[in-house]
Amino acid sequence: MALLLVVLAAALAVRTSKGKEGSPIPPPPPARHAGSNGQQVSVHRTGQGSAQICGINQDAQNVCTPVFDTPSENTLFPNWWWIGNVTISGWAGRSGSGRPLGSVTCQVPKSQPSADTVICGTGW
C-alpha cells in the first residue's frame, strides 16, 4: 500500500510539473488579494449626480475611471483598485453633465486589515 502511494505521488509530481510534451508549466501570476494591494473607493456625497476617480492603481499605473452616476449617498466604483492619493471630480448631473462640483483628494491605503473599500467624502 505504501509503495503504491509513493508511485502515485511521483507520477502526480511529474505530471503536474510538466506541460505539453514535457515543457515546464509556468507559475501562476501573483495572487491579488482584496485589501492587500489597493482598495476600492466608495464615493460619499450628499446629492445625486456623477463622479470620476483618477489616481494610481494596483499595477502602479495612473488611470481614470469612466464617469459613473452616483445615485445614492455612497456609490462604490467596483473593480477599480487604488493606492495612494486619488482625485474625485464631481458633476451635478448624470454622466458628467450639469454644473461641475469640483474635485477632492482622498488617501487610499495599499492595505488594511478588515476591508477592501475606502469611503471618500466629497462634501457635495
CATH class of 37-124: mainly beta
Asked if 124 and 101 touch (Cβ cutoff 8 Å), the reply is yes
The dihedral formed by the CA atoms of 41, 47, 49 and 54, expressed in degrees to the nearest 10:
-30
What is the residue-level pLDDT of the chain in tens, covering all 124 positions?
A: 443 333 334 443 433 334 445 545 555 545 445 578 999 999 999 889 999 999 999 999 999 999 999 999 999 999 999 999 999 999 999 999 999 999 999 999 999 988 899 999 999 8
User: Tell me, what's the pLDDT at 22?
Assistant: 55
Q: pLDDT tens digits for 29-48?
A: 454 455 789 999 999 998 89
User: Tell me, what's the pLDDT at 25?
Assistant: 58
| 51, burial (CB in 10 Å: exposed 0-12, middle 13-18, buried 19+) | buried
**Main-chain dihedrals φ then ψ at residue 99, nearest 5 degrees:** -70, 130
The three cell numbers of residue 10 are 511521483
Q: pLDDT tens digits for 3-17?
A: 333 333 444 343 333
User: Tell me, what's the pLDDT at 113?
Assistant: 87
Q: Give pairs for 18-22: CB < 8 Å, separation 24+.
A: none
User: Tell me, what's the pLDDT at 114?
Assistant: 86
Q: What is the C-alpha to C-alpha distance for residues 118 and 120, in angstroms, rounded to an integer?
A: 6
Report DSSP state, residue 88: E
